[in-house]
Structure 1
């Protein structure tokens, strides 16, 4: 099997692609891959580090306001389609898959025009512009939230879930103490994304006196740019023994398997991971994403009793601590949320997406 994959811009588009590649490798060790991204995007370093053959095209996203930059984008799209067609003719893929981001546009469009089987994978409950555009041309559309199906032609939609969930579930659990966590205490993970989130950090700093009184521990991932300031504030608060601070973690799946509650943004990959593992959550959606899709993602979990929602503008240290305590200190509430979270998880998502590829391959 020869697979061409394109996805970029954010980790939420890249990591599901890599998870799918890993699943295909397990099924078909002789399969070959070509990842198409942009030279300046996050995908280049991540994909090359994973040892996947990588090539790039030059493309930018559309501005939502009238702008001369959109004329340049159209020209880059046309050029990108031309280059993508040449890449496809040279690589001869059995299937071309887009996992999100504007780089997928010319790649998947070119494949469809060359009659190569195509799939787009939509991780969010509300699709972006690129996937809405591509939905008219692709063979199949894989979704992770049932709400996303209403935006696409129903005859093309297949509910697969996010392959990142499979990868997290299959990860072998590591003993809690080896991660620096206390096996005798419940653990709350607070994370604002790879770069952190200032409002979450500010609320956590103000909550330190309350955290210090609790019998649970807090693992607090600040993001690199916020770490020094937060470390200084924690020192002023007397370095509470039950609060551990890190700028970033590379082994998030290991951490997720050893926590009892997560406070986080509502990115699609994060939600795929926590539902697969059954981790109750307090979600603080980023208000700065397209179409406010993080809040819509979060409400999907909230409606099913799997998460609590705090709108960023309403976030304070009091609301944060109160919501944490209501869950972590109430075993009945915690178990109910855990069961509801697990009911939404799709641990075999990678297998479902692989089977969809095999159907098109035939």
Structure 2
């Protein structure tokens, strides 16, 4: 048995964390004797989510640079030096065969030091517009696994492999779990369900939209399964009733997808990939506050294929009602969007990425 050693680094948001966990799960299935270590930012959500998935994690004192002038920016050089030094210690102690970066601030120092020491490194870029960390690392890694076409603008073409984004295996059979999902969320099987997702931390604009449109939703006879985010739960939990289920966070996401007839969602890369696999009709409301407006670009790539509806935040007051009523009242439109979206899915992405990671293990280090 090959007792390989893998370091996986990424985090900050669920969009970087869950792909990292999916990759680790596939590696662990193929190599039961392998050792794993995650490296994240010490004050971000990966420090909670990774141990919940059964993996050990170490944190670096690192964060991004604010776009506005702030005291936090003055600390950045010290954080970077600290993180580079700790990354070197982690690599010396753990001695990985391969390091995998899924994006986020912590992966920058770790992969920079690892590549400098000759450790094979693989990047996994989820978005149609790469983040700055992965763009800076691109020239130093062995391979870059991407989910969209056209990323030669940002990365060396000879390193790019289109794999799609990793998704959790439990999403591949959601069609068979609808009855289970209805019981789990206490849903009336006779009514349509709208699943609302604002990302792993929630989204103020989407929460306000749902609050404002509850009369419209009730008028159309739908139930609402609403993940509002931990930051907003205390504010929005009062809207819970027999037709509205309010959750700070939904851990059983496969069941949530199984229960849903229509989804209202942000357009982070992981959400887009997961929703393509489950093949649900989606209204994307991209966050306009992310780097390079990459969520809008993600959603545009899907909407251009008539596989989802894109509504910008600034258009919600004028566009949402008509788009929603048109969708919820048409089984044909729901089916068309869902089927078109499913055609864009790359359900074997995780396995393909792990194939590429395995190819990077140096022959002399194979046992």
Q: Are residues 127 and 173 of structure 1, via their aligned partners in 2, closer, same or farther at CA, if it must alter by over 3 Å?
A: same
Aligned match for 1:100, one of 81, 90, 103: 103
In the other structure, the counterpart of 1:350 is 350
Pairwise CA distance, 1:206: 2.5
Contact 1:166–1:349 (CA under 8 A) maintained in structure 2? no
Contact 2:41–2:63 (CA under 8 A) maintained in structure 1? no
Q: Are residues 286 and 78 of structure 1, via their aligned partners in 2, closer, same or farther at CA, if it must alter by over 3 Å?
A: same
2:283 counterpart SS class: strand
Q: Quick check: 251-260 or 66-75, which moved more?
A: 66-75
Matched, 1:193 2:199: yes
TM-score by length of 2: 0.89
Q: Deviations over 1:228-274 (max 9, x none)?
A: 54454x48xxx5x5443333322112111221210011111111110
Q: Structure 1 CA distance, aligned partners of 2:9 and 2:346? A: 23
Q: Structure 1 CA distance, aligned partners of 2:149 and 2:169? A: 19
In the other structure, the counterpart of 2:335 is 335
1:173 counterpart SS class: helix
Q: Structure 2 CA distance, aligned partners of 1:101 and 1:225? A: 21
In the other structure, the counterpart of 2:144 is 141
Q: Structure 2 CA distance, aligned partners of 1:141 and 1:258? A: 35
1:257 counterpart SS class: helix
Q: Are residues 231 and 69 of structure 1, via their aligned partners in 2, closer, same or farther at CA, if it must alter by over 3 Å?
A: closer
In the other structure, the counterpart of 2:311 is 310
Aligned match for 1:203, one of 190, 193, 209: 209
Contact 2:167–2:350 (CA under 8 A) maintained in structure 1? yes
Which structure 2 residues correspond to residues 86-165 of structure 1 after superposition, within 5 A? 86-165=89-168
Q: Deviations over 1:29-57 (max 9, x none)?
A: 11110111122121111112222122222
Q: Quick check: 292-301 or 160-169, which moved more?
A: 160-169
Q: Structure 2 CA distance, aligned partners of 1:342 and 1:27? A: 27
Aligned residue pairs total: 356
Q: Quick check: 79-88 or 139-148, which moved more?
A: 79-88
In the other structure, the counterpart of 2:284 is 283
Pairwise CA distance, 1:177: 2.6
Q: Deviations over 1:95-131 (max 9, x none)?
A: 0011111111110011111111101111111111111
Matched, 1:221 2:227: yes
Contact 2:197–2:226 (CA under 8 A) maintained in structure 1? yes
Unaligned runs of 5+ in 1: none
Contact 1:212–1:243 (CA under 8 A) maintained in structure 2? no
Contact 2:42–2:62 (CA under 8 A) maintained in structure 1? no
Q: Deviations over 1:201-251 (max 9, x none)?
A: 22222222222222433323333444454454x48xxx5x54433333221
Q: Structure 1 CA distance, aligned partners of 2:153 and 2:168? A: 23
Pairwise CA distance, 1:81: 2.4
1:107 counterpart SS class: helix
In the other structure, the counterpart of 2:59 is 56
Which structure 2 residues correspond to residues 190-269 of structure 1 after superposition, within 5 A? 190-232=196-238, 234=239, 241-269=242-270
Contact 1:176–1:182 (CA under 8 A) maintained in structure 2? no
Q: Structure 1 CA distance, aligned partners of 2:33 and 2:177? A: 29
In the other structure, the counterpart of 1:272 is 273
Q: Structure 1 CA distance, aligned partners of 2:292 and 2:170? A: 28
Q: Structure 1 CA distance, aligned partners of 2:253 and 2:58? A: 28
Contact 2:182–2:259 (CA under 8 A) maintained in structure 1? no
Pairwise CA distance, 1:64: 4.3
In the other structure, the counterpart of 2:40 is 37
Contact 2:145–2:161 (CA under 8 A) maintained in structure 1? yes
Let me know the Cα RMSD of the aligned residues.
Answer: 2.3
Q: Deviations over 1:297-321 (max 9, x none)?
A: 11111111111111101112x6333
Unaligned runs of 5+ in 2: none
